[in-house]
A and B are shown apart, each in its own frame.
Chain A
Amino acid sequence: MATLEIRDLHVSVEAENGPREILRGVDLTVKQGETHAIMGPNGSGKSTLAYSIAGHPKYTVTGGSVTLDGEDVLSMTVDERARAGLFLAMQYPVEVAGVSVSNFLRTAATAVRGEAPKLRLWVKEVKEAMDRLQMDPSFAERNVNEGFSGGEKKRHEILQLELLKPKIAVLDETDSGLDVDALRIVSEGVNRVRDTGEIGTLLITHYTRILRYIKPDYVHVFAGGRIVESGGPELADKLESEGYEAYTGVKESA
């Protein structure tokens, strides 16, 4: 059973006046089949955690460890991490001019699976996955994220999640910017993947709204670059009614 283990993770970014520590000792274990919600106010370091797991070059790990089934994730390149089974659905997916969605998906699937998927099966697989996410077939011919609405970008991220079948998925504010319909469609996509029982999910969010669709097994409150409280789903209910003030001293709803 795949396990992502994060131990005492410290991460800095290069700011104008030298390095600035954002993550200050994160401890977390996510196992295949489990869903962990990470909830925290803006600026608490949630995206920094997500990017650090994926290996974004802007973030420097200054201490601690991240392992996937005992393998040292931090020594892997970004693409090695993805091929090892890590997936990051980004808060702000990036535009890639001149590269079509279909070309991108096939190139990614080929890389992750280690061989090019058989064309006929692949076309069917993509089409069915797009149908489930209520994406128009014409979508496949558009350039990656270019001119996509917020909702389209997030559907496209979840489409990749469905096709690439990672062991551990980090979903960074997949709910932000979605209307109720899109939130439901995207959440159903995540739940289909979860229902396979073969994925561990780290669901990063500011608001409790998405937790009505995707039920977490564990909820962690994130503040000041670390996990400050962990519990079950009831912790989300507490955040819903009380906000983050108890953790940050600042009134902010969840």
Chain B
Amino acid sequence: MASATNSGSTTAGSIAVREAGAPGELAGPGTGRMVSQPADARQVATASYDVNDFAVPHGREEDWRFTPLERLRGLHDGTFTTVGSPTVEVDAPAGVVVETVGRDDARLGKAGTPVDRVAAQAYSSFEKATVVTFPKELAPGEPVVVRTRGEGATGFGHLIVDVGRFAEAVVVLDHGGKATYADNVEFLVGDGAKLTVVSVQDWDAGSVHLGHHVARVGRDATFKSVTVTLGGDVVRLFPRVVFDAPGGDVELYGVYFADAGQHLEHRLFVDHDVPRCRSRVAYKGALQGADARTVWIGDVLIRAAAEGTDTYELNRNLLLTEGARADSVPNLEIETGEIAGAGHASATGRFDDEQLFYLQARGIPADEARRLVVRGFFAEVIAQIDLPELRERLMERIEAELEASV
């Protein structure tokens, strides 16, 4: 919120600006931190479909330092015991093709190679993949809903959403039940196509979910995602975007609400490596209760070839109680001087008592006033969900989370 202060949490940000071929990096304005890796680190980092190509993380690695490895039930080091994958059900309007395929399907892995050990683990271990195809120019008007329900076991998943050129698609990924789950989701957005994804992580208590999304965005294509993470003991999502051709337009929104003991982590990476693409990132989180923990990493890389890039990312966190901790690390690396715009903002603030007083002074009881403020805090992101019923359901879920603390 406007009056948020940087208190009670670590908030770090950096902008590295580097001309192609220039030797060093400059720290960005007002951020006070250099990037911790060379700008081309991602090009040389491990990328593989095989889990054995990745070292087991121990917690000091940059990508893992915020994550409670001991709570991952062995998804990161191979000590997990696989019992069974969650059930996946798909509701799709006419014209959309839904298939369940084996590991040898030629369409697997087209969006991008895993760059994370758990993503590679999921890739190495899943048995069946779901492929949802929107043939070219199809615009069904109704969303596809992919329901993933955990039944208590440890499992792996793979989903491909392939949107043909000039098709217009809305896909809801609805995760629930109890699971220990790692998966890869590939979004292929064809030239001129539009894909909107709403991914809801509302797992039962005791669940662990490590999810990896890669969107490959075609020429003049539009990709919008809204990530809503509410339930689960540990949820770590890694949404990535790569561009195939100029003219791509990407909006990544997110909402998360961490209760006592929950660890909710979102690590975004937008890789601008072609000219004239646009990206907007806005994630908002609320935290309440002892050891409620959120991590937000926003990596945006504008490579030398990506002239005319326009990017902005924002993360805001609202600490509703003592004992919660939000880490927020926007990280913008720029390797070309020819950009249209680049910026980031990050703030973490306590619940504003002055707002509460103002509303109460108008007769509104304290718990209702808190609801209004939290609803207001999330409103601009939730408003991005164009499905009114889902929007209302999520707001109600957020309010239910809030009730727990009032």
Contacts and interface: CB of A to CB of B under 8 A. Distances in A.
B372 A99 contact: yes
Contacts of A97: 1-2, 376-377
Interface residues of B, number: 27
B137 interface: no
Given A57-B353, A57-B357, A96 B362 contact: no
Nearest to B362: A108
B362 A98 contact: no
A97 B1 CA distance: 6
Interface in A153-196: 160, 164
B399 to A, nearest CB: 14
Interface in B245-266: none
Contacts of B373: 96, 99
A143 interface: yes
Given A107-B372, A108-B362, A146 B2 contact: yes
B359 interface: yes
A82 B361 contact: yes
B365 A79 contact: yes
Nearest to B377: A98
B355 A94 contact: yes
Interface in B332-370: 352-355, 357-366, 368-369
B379 A96 contact: no
A93 B3 CA distance: 13
A166 to B, nearest CB: 9
A54 B378 CA distance: 29
Most interface-central of B355, B364, B369, B372 (chain A CB within 10 A): B364
A142 interface: no
Contacts of A94: 352, 354-355, 357-358
Contacts of B357: 54, 56-57, 78, 94
Contact of A112 (B1, B353, B362, B366): B362
A181 B378 CA distance: 37
A78 B380 CA distance: 29
A98 B358 contact: no
A218 interface: no
A107 B375 CA distance: 13
B366 A108 contact: no
A77 B368 CA distance: 14
A199 B366 CA distance: 26
Contact of B376 (A79, A90, A96): A96
B361 A98 contact: no
A83 B363 contact: yes
Contacts of B366: 77-79
A57 B3 CA distance: 18
A107 B2 CA distance: 22
B337 to A, nearest CB: 34
Contacts of B378: 98
A103 B364 CA distance: 12
A103 B358 CA distance: 14
Interface string A86-115: 011010011111110001100110011000
Contacts, number: 89
A55 B362 CA distance: 12
Contact of A54 (B2, B355, B361, B372): B361
Contacts of A99: 372-373, 375-376, 379
Interface in A96-142: 96-99, 103-104, 107-108, 111-112
Contacts of B372: 96, 99, 103-104, 107
B358 A90 contact: yes
Residue among B362, B368, B373 with max Cβ neighbours from chain A (10 Å): B362
Given A98-B379, A107-B372, A143-B376, A164 B1 contact: no
The CB with the most chain B CB atoms within 10 A, among A77, A78, A81, A99, is that of A78
A95 B353 CA distance: 12
A102 to B, nearest CB: 13
Interface in A48-77: 54-57, 77
Contacts of A77: 360, 366
Contact of B362 (A56, A111, A143, A146): A111
A96 B359 CA distance: 9
Contacts of A111: 362-365, 368
A195 to B, nearest CB: 23
A79 B364 contact: yes
Interface string B143-183: 00000000000000000000000000000000000000000
Which residue of B2, B358, B365 has the most chain A CB atoms within 10 A of its CB atom? B358
> Which one of A54, A79, A82, A146 has the highest number of Cβ atoms from chain B below 10 Å of its Cβ?
A79
Nearest to B374: A98
Contact of A107 (B3, B352, B358, B364): B364
Nearest to A105: B362
A253 B246 CA distance: 66
Interface of B: 1-3, 352-355, 357-366, 368-369, 372-373, 375-380
30 contacts: A55-B361, A57-B353, A57-B357, A77-B360, A78-B357, A78-B360, A78-B361, A79-B361, A79-B363, A79-B364, A79-B365, A83-B363, A90-B361, A94-B352, A95-B1, A95-B355, A96-B358, A97-B1, A98-B1, A98-B378, A99-B372, A99-B376, A104-B372, A107-B359, A108-B364, A111-B362, A111-B364, A111-B365, A143-B376, A164-B363
Interface of A: 54-57, 77-79, 81-83, 87-88, 90, 93-99, 103-104, 107-108, 111-112, 143, 146, 160, 164
Q: Which 3 A-B pairs have the closest CB atoms?
A: A98-B376, A111-B363, A108-B362
Given A94-B352, A99-B375, 5 more contacts: A82-B362, A96-B355, A98-B375, A104-B372, A108-B359
